[in-house]
Amino acid sequence: MMESLRNFLTGPRLLIVVLVCALPFVFLGTSSLGTTFNSSFGNINGEDVKEIDLQIASNSTVQKFKSVYGEEFDFDMLDEEFKADAIKQELIIQKVLYSGAKSMGLINQSTELKIKKEIIKSPRFQVDGEFNENVYEAQVNSSGFTKESYIEIMTGLSASELYRSSLNAVNFVTDQELYQLASLLEKSTNIDFIKINFDNLKSEIVNTEDEIKSFYEANEILFFSDEQKSFKYLVLDQSNYSELIEVPDSYLEDGYQNYLNEFVNAAQTRISHIMIDKNNYETREDAFDSINKIEELIKNGENFSELASVYSEDIVTSDIGGDLEYFDKDIFPIEFDEAIKDLELNEVSKIVELEDTFHILKITEKNLSKPLSADEVKDNLLAELIETESYALMLDEFTNLEDMIFNNDSFDQISIASSKTVYTSDLYTKNNFDFESNNQAIKDYLFSPNTIIGEPFSVDLGDRIIIMALDKLIEPQLQSLESIKDSVINMITNSKAKEKMNLLATEIQSFSNDDEKNKFIDAYKYVESDSFVDVKRYSSLLPREVLNKVFINQADTIISEDASNGDKYIVTIKKFNQPLETDIQNIIEEYNTFSEEIFVTRMNQIVNNDIFESARVNLNNLIF
């Protein structure tokens, strides 16, 4: 394990595992890309555009829409041309940023080193809290990468984001700008308004049977039932494979002995180091002279942590006194193990030489913990074995069934081959879909217009795999008037209410005499008038959409605006009131954060505009 990890962490052999952040595994759903990542679609700013670039841009675009509209947002429902433009814009931004990062030298050993450390710390690539190279390799291979190409891709993305942040890192808002912002948002208004209450107006409306029938017959298209679908399915459940696991002879005893052997050296010793990088010097001797002088300072009583912050050439740990956290044989070189094995707390090692670096190590902490009991360790080993092997057995069976799916075998043929119980779902519409596993992929398959009865489809839910096929389809049918009469009445009432509301608003605004207007208003129970003074733009006195309209208009203006609940407001803007100087000074600090957010948003827009203006786009055969 140690040797393979050293090979994985190329470059300087010492790698300090101190970063807490976990690298997002961004390539969700890319397993279908296979080995086509090398296909070229042209270039942007001289950088080749490959299929992986399109996939990254596509995933990034989808996530941006979901961050705005929520996780349930379906990007595929957008117009094809709009989707293609959005992905193309993201692609251009990413490649121009990559080009800029490359030209600035941000794609370097330091950036790559940080990515490797983040990978090591990522829970996605760990087993029992420790980095597992086999898991890492399996994860990235499943998405079409080698270990090295994944690091290369992630290093480029990291450098691109660093370059982007450097472009808008300046965060400067003047006192005058802050004052103007506070003045603008804190001003208030005096208004007169008339409100027509939609719900109260509706309660006054009466519909005759002839009207209801005529409306129904004239608008039959509105009264068809929703399409209904059900599906057959079988389930491969990981828990059902547990009883098939055979525990090898002496597996638990050997595992417990290995645990005891490793326990003595497991995360008990915390170390710090001072590093000199040979690559920063003309000769090895020059680098050794540098580390030798540091050793003399330590012998003379200088503080190790302070020396690390001044002289250590490890950019990751120098600012934290050279702290490497707890020693782990699977992470650190064997030379470190040899150097510290006889050291006591606060003792310092001799100079340690690796291929590219020199180090001085210090023991900063020693923890003596008690090992788990034999029963605890064996229980954990057995649970881990069952978890791993049952999942593997489930995947083995699924692989065989998946081959049948690819060979266009029917669901019935697959169910016979699997010997699994076949279930039938309830009939669902798009609006009442409530299957036990509310997975979007199941719903998308079921209600896709291209889904064929009996054609199998699989959904991986982690510890379960569902293989399903459309079983029954009930086409939309015209519903009888009796069954939907309430819905028809509501539609007619809404239509009449909106029409009457608009007529009332027009008539109210036609009055030039206030007395006549007030008399007209008083004649209707669902119309009222009032006046407010010093109303601010975020007041709860009026609906937000109405106030938004007020504050983009001028004094002595009359506006008519519908609220989201259907009510109509006719507002006369009497005047706007500027906040007092003392009021502004009392609240101006509250605007600091808000103004910074506005500034960052503005800078992002400027950066993106500049990126598009500077992009040299030469794309071909680009199909989204």
Per DSSP, the three-state class of 469 is: strand
pLDDT above 70 coverage of the chain, percent: 86
39: pLDDT confidence band, cut at 50, 70 and 90?
Answer: low
Q: What is the mean pLDDT of residues 258-266?
A: 69
Dig out the tokens for 405 from the structure: 């799916």
What is the biggest distance separating any 2 CA atoms in the chain, rounded to whole angstroms? 105
Whether residues 161 and 207 share a domain: the answer is no
Q: Is the pLDDT of residue 197 over 90?
A: yes
Place of tokens 């055969």: 621
**Residue among 304, 285, 284, 306 nearest 295 (CA):** 304
| Higher pLDDT, residue 165 or 437 | 437
Last residue of a domain, one of 366, 388, 423: 366
Write phi, then psi, for 127 (nearest 5 degrees). -125, 120
Whether residues 330 and 466 share a domain: the answer is no
Whether residues 441 and 552 share a domain: the answer is no
Write a three-state SS string for 50-84: EHHHHHHHHHHHHHHHHHHHCCCCCHHHCCHHHHH
Per DSSP, the three-state class of 189 is: strand
Predicted pLDDT at 614: 60
Q: Is the pLDDT of residue 42 over 90?
A: no
The shares of helix, strand and coil residues in the chain, as percent rounded to the nearest 5, are 50, 15, 30
Q: Is the pLDDT of residue 420 over 70?
A: yes
CA distance 554 to 191: 12
pLDDT above 90 coverage of the chain, percent: 45
Whether residues 381 and 422 share a domain: the answer is yes
Highest mean pLDDT (candidates 67-81, 106-120, 251-265, 568-582): 568-582
Q: Using one digit for the tens of pLDDT, what is the confidence trace for 459-502?
A: 998 889 999 999 999 999 999 999 999 999 999 999 999 999 99
CA 488 to chain CA centroid, nearest Å: 43
Supply the DSSP string of 394-433, one letter for each residue: HHHHHHHHHHHHHTT--HHHHHHHHTPPPEEPPPB-TTT-
Whether residues 234 and 282 share a domain: the answer is no
Predicted pLDDT at 10: 29
Which of 86-95, 375-384, 505-514 is the least confident region?
A: 86-95
Predicted pLDDT at 598: 54
Q: What is the mean pLDDT of residues 43-61?
A: 83
CA 294 to chain CA centroid, nearest Å: 46
CA distance 57 to 153: 13
- DSSP at 482: T
Residue 394 CB neighbours (<10 A): 19
Last residue of a domain, one of 474, 507, 536: 474
- Count of domains for the chain: 4
Which of 108-117, 305-314, 410-419 is the least confident region?
A: 108-117
CA distance 135 to 112: 20
Q: What is the CATH number of the domain that holds 291?
A: 3.10.50.40
Q: Is residue 587 part of a domain?
A: no
Q: What is the CATH number of the domain that holds 81?
A: 1.10.4030
CA distance 95 to 101: 10
CA distance 184 to 587: 13
CB 281 within 8 A of CB 287: yes
Q: Is residue 180 part of a domain?
A: no
Predicted pLDDT at 112: 84
Predicted pLDDT at 507: 95
CA 97 to chain CA centroid, nearest Å: 20
Q: Which residues contact 372 (CB under 8 A, 6 or more apart)?
A: 259, 380
Whether residues 24 and 158 share a domain: the answer is yes
Q: Is the pLDDT of residue 603 over 60?
A: no
Predicted pLDDT at 214: 95
Residue 361 amino acid letter: L
CA distance 274 to 359: 6
Q: Is residue 122 part of a domain?
A: yes
Q: Is residue 253 part of a domain?
A: no
| DSSP β-bridge partners for residue 196 | 527, 568
264: pLDDT confidence band, cut at 50, 70 and 90?
Answer: low
| Higher pLDDT, residue 322 or 51 | 322
569: pLDDT confidence band, cut at 50, 70 and 90?
Answer: very high
Last residue of a domain, one of 452, 474, 496: 474
326: pLDDT confidence band, cut at 50, 70 and 90?
Answer: confident
Q: Which residues contact 121 (CB under 8 A, 6 or more apart)?
A: 17, 19, 20, 21, 22, 131
Q: Is residue 259 part of a domain?
A: no
Helix spans in 419-575 (H): 440-446, 485-510, 514-522, 544-550
Whether residues 443 and 525 share a domain: the answer is no
Q: Is the pLDDT of residue 118 over 90?
A: no
Q: Is residue 513 part of a domain?
A: yes
27: pLDDT confidence band, cut at 50, 70 and 90?
Answer: very low
C-alpha pair distances (Å), 579 with each of 308, 540, 549, 594: 55, 19, 20, 18
Dig out the tokens for 578 from the structure: 């500027």
Whether residues 346 and 404 share a domain: the answer is no
CB 467 within 8 A of CB 265: no
Residue 568 CB neighbours (<10 A): 22
| Higher pLDDT, residue 181 or 102 | 102
- DSSP at 224: B
Predicted pLDDT at 610: 57
| DSSP β-bridge partners for residue 535 | 189
The residue segments making up the domain with residue 56 are 2-170+607-619
CB 461 within 8 A of CB 442: no
Q: Is residue 175 part of a domain?
A: no
CB 410 within 8 A of CB 471: no
Whether residues 9 and 32 share a domain: the answer is yes
Per DSSP, the three-state class of 225 is: coil
CA distance 191 to 572: 6
Whether residues 491 and 437 share a domain: the answer is no
Q: Is residue 593 part of a domain?
A: no
Whether residues 65 and 151 share a domain: the answer is yes
Residue 379 CB neighbours (<10 A): 13
Q: Is the pLDDT of residue 195 over 80?
A: yes
Whether residues 208 and 352 share a domain: the answer is no
Supply the DSSP string of 262-289, one letter for each residue: HHTTSS-EEEEEEEEEGGGSSSHHHHHH
29: pLDDT confidence band, cut at 50, 70 and 90?
Answer: very low
